[in-house]
Amino acid sequence: MRPCAIEAMTPYLEQQFANPSGAHRMARKSRAAIDDAREIVAEALGFDPHGIVFTSGGTEADNLAVTGVTSATGTTALCPATEHHAVLHPVEAVGGRYVQVNAGGEVDFDHLAAQLAPDAGPPVGLVSVMLVNNESGVIADLEAVADVIGRHAPEALLHTDAVQGVNWVDIAAAAQPADLLSLSGHKFGGPKGVGVLAIRPGVTLSAQQLGGGQEADRRSGTHNTAGIAALGAALGELHETRSEDICRISELADRLADGLLTSIDGCTETVERSRRAAGICQLLIDGIETEALLVLLDRFDVMASAAASCASGAMEPSHVLAAMGVERHAAAGSLRLSLGWCTEPWEIERAIDAIPNCVEQLR
Amino acid sequence: MTPERHDATETSPERHGAVAGSRVLVAMSGGVDSSVAAALCLRAGHDVVGVTLKLWGGPQDQGCCAVSDVDDARRVCQQLGIDHFVFNYAAEFERDVVEPYVDAHRRGHTPNPCIACNRHVKFDVLLDRARRLGFDRLVTGHHVRISSLSGRRRLQRGADSAKDQSYVLYMLSEADLADLWFPVGDYRKHELRTLAAELGLRTAHKPESQDVCFITEAAGRERFLAERIDLHPAELVDAAGQRVGTAPAVELVTVGQRKGLDLGGAPQRRYAVDVDIAARRVTVGGASELSARGVRLVDHRWAVDPVEGEVLAQTSAHGPALPAHVDAEGQLRWAEPQRRVAAGQAVVFYKGDEVLGGATAAGHLT
């Protein structure tokens, strides 16, 4: 976590532990921390503070967007087949449909248009497109997506899961076409267990978690004051440093990819570098299974990922690469290396040293 | 039959003579046996890593790859202070275990999916991966032992005869055994539970899994197969070809089966003695008609070289090992006539407690 986030949260774990919905002095202090965080978040995202709903994380925010909008409007939802499961599964649950992507992981706009057509099925009230894909790093062109929606189903709203994207693009500008946006605190140096759904004025959404009516009746449940304060502090700092971070991390990511491409035969990047976010480096390595590679890398303190894990902890074949048309046996050799705001050059050098040797051992 | 503890066995790492500090990968199902196997390796001073296999993605009661079993295996590893990984072999399991299981039923055979899993998953892809990852040994919680006489390794029955699992491991070659350890093979089950309890492992009193892990008790074998293949009613005929009853699905009838055959209340015990899938006909008969002089065998696997001569042969996981003769073609003739063995079942050859090899039944010899 960012030190500023830890510093921001501790007063609300130690002294100021009151429930912010209370009417007394200590409660008002807690409440002020939440309101401060709400303004920081709103400014960073380019949304109105009244539209900021704090949740338990990105998954809850995605679920609230998809289920909340479609249930309020009696519609269904669309999303690309490359979305995170936090969007895919709720879209499935509301009877929604998937939109194809091309080999580069970008939304197939013709297919999106066809799926928005009245004869494609039940009316679409929400299209959810991830700003930056968590596996491939592909950056979505939300402007173009909004344009297709505007031409084919102007009533439909655009939601973006910006859980990864917030780090790697000018979020307020990139998300400008979106009606709803999800964030997760732990992806930018905040704590786990806190997230945001940002909502534009006029969006109709029905609450999915009912109770005390917190968050303007859109998300009940006692506020996670410490988490919210920390999320606000982390996002505030990110907002200040993002441009510098992107430059620094881009160089490290390029160094990492170049180092591995040079020293491992049969190694390719899954998407063009110019199309992906700085912090995500996804490679396909011939002749190995990433599941085994990760065991070896672990010994060298290189902590990487294949695709997604299931409930058992087993690696599941990547649905993102499958949607991009990568064969299953090739996808078994996919390696995802994530860089973050705190990544240091020595870590990149260690990875460049360790990974080729481990690949060689497995081959 | 209770085998004597064999001085030359090397089931437990501490008795193997290997230098402490060997790197071992323990396949952990989340049960007590593999939990103790990991603990014994650790006690012997080895560098131990646990792995649980995700094998089946569908519904299951308890089996070896349910999430709760993975939780138990991981928790045991945490308690022992060792790393734990999960390997996803669901695709291999589907291709090499589930599909052949379904296909065998379609052909009227009675497959043993545990043997297929050992042969194609645990002691093939997992063993291969363990070697590639640089582990010196793959360890499992099977109740078997490895003997080493004159430098030759042989698979032996486990010390607890009621728990012996050598029948489902007959496919292991001498080369495989060089890379394997079975630390619990020297112990009786109650000793393992005591050991697990002493170590405070959460699996100490966990019930054993018994049935096919990918078939739930609620749905059963019939529904599992009905979702994958067409099941056809069978007519039951006697040796003379007279119709004597019906069975709901010819694909579910096993040679030797007595229950589930509607014979209209015939007083004497009658068994399925032959299954003709194409004709959807099951021949039934008394115990004498079920007996055969021998078993026609295919797909032999030998511990070292093919064996010819007198052996003890076992036709089910915990059935008796009976005297028989294997000829030069690997065909088996019983010393005394025995019940027919359903096609698809394994027949495993022993000399005393030592596994000589095994094969798959393809019919009977008269």
Tens digits of residue pLDDT in B164-200: 999 999 999 999 999 999 999 999 999 999 999 998 8
The minimum CA-CA distance between B118 and chain A, rounded to whole Å, is 20
Tokens 């945490």: give the residue: B78
Residues B251 and B138 in one domain: no
- Which of A291, A296, A361 comes nearest B88 by C-beta? A291
- Which of A295, A296, A314 comes nearest B88 by C-beta? A314
For the segment B56-74, the average pLDDT, to the nearest whole number, is 73
Residues B74 and B182 in one domain: yes
Answer with the one of B238, B262, B285 that is the final residue of a domain.
B285
What's the CA gap between A12 and A191, in Å, rounded? 13
How many domains would you assign to chain B? 3
Interface of A with B in 60-119 (CB under 8 A): none
User: In Å, what is the CA distance from B244 to each residue of B146, B234, B259?
Assistant: 50, 11, 15
**Domains in chain A, CATH or no CATH each:** 3-238 (3.40.640.10), 242-362 (3.90.1150.10)
Q: Which residues of B78-110 are buried (b: 16+ CB within 10 A; e: fewer)?
A: ebbebebbbbbbbebbeebbbebbbebbeebbb
Test A362 with B87 for CB contact under 8 angstroms: no
A315 CB within 8 Å of a chain B CB? yes
* pLDDT at position B50: 97
Residues B176 and B249 in one domain: no
Test B86 with A292 for CB contact under 8 angstroms: no
What's the CA gap between A82 and A59, in Å, rounded? 15
Higher pLDDT, B8 or B134: B134
Residues B135 and B28 in one domain: yes
Answer with the one of B268, B285, B302 that is the final residue of a domain.
B285
Residues in A touching B132 (Cβ below 8 Å): 292, 361-362
* pLDDT at position B5: 40
Q: What is the pTM of this model?
A: 0.88
Domain, as residue range, for B276: 230-285
Q: What is the mean pLDDT of each run of 10 residues along chain A (363 residues)?
A: 97 93 92 97 97 98 98 97 97 97 96 96 97 95 97 97 96 97 97 98 96 96 97 97 95 96 96 93 94 92 79 81 92 92 94 96 92
Helix H or strand E encompassing B148? strand B144-149
Residues B194 and B50 in one domain: yes
Kindly tell me if the per-residue pLDDT of B69 is higher than 90. no
Residues in B touching A314 (Cβ below 8 Å): 54, 70, 86-88, 90
Tens digits of residue pLDDT in A38-76: 999 999 999 999 999 999 999 999 999 999 999 999 999
**Nearest-CA neighbor of B70 among A7, A311, A83, A132?**
A311
* pLDDT at position A262: 97
Q: Label residue B260 by pLDDT band (50, 70, 90).
A: confident
Report if residue B337 sits inside a domain. yes
Test B67 with A361 for CB contact under 8 angstroms: no
Residue B45: Cβ within 10 Å count: 14
Q: How many CB pairs under 8 A join A and B?
A: 44
Residues B294 and B251 in one domain: no
- Which of A312, A317, A361 comes nearest B132 by C-beta? A361
What burial class does residue B323 get, using C-beta atoms within 10 Å of its C-beta: 0-12 exposed, 13-18 middle, 19+ buried?
exposed
Residues in B touching A315 (Cβ below 8 Å): 86, 88
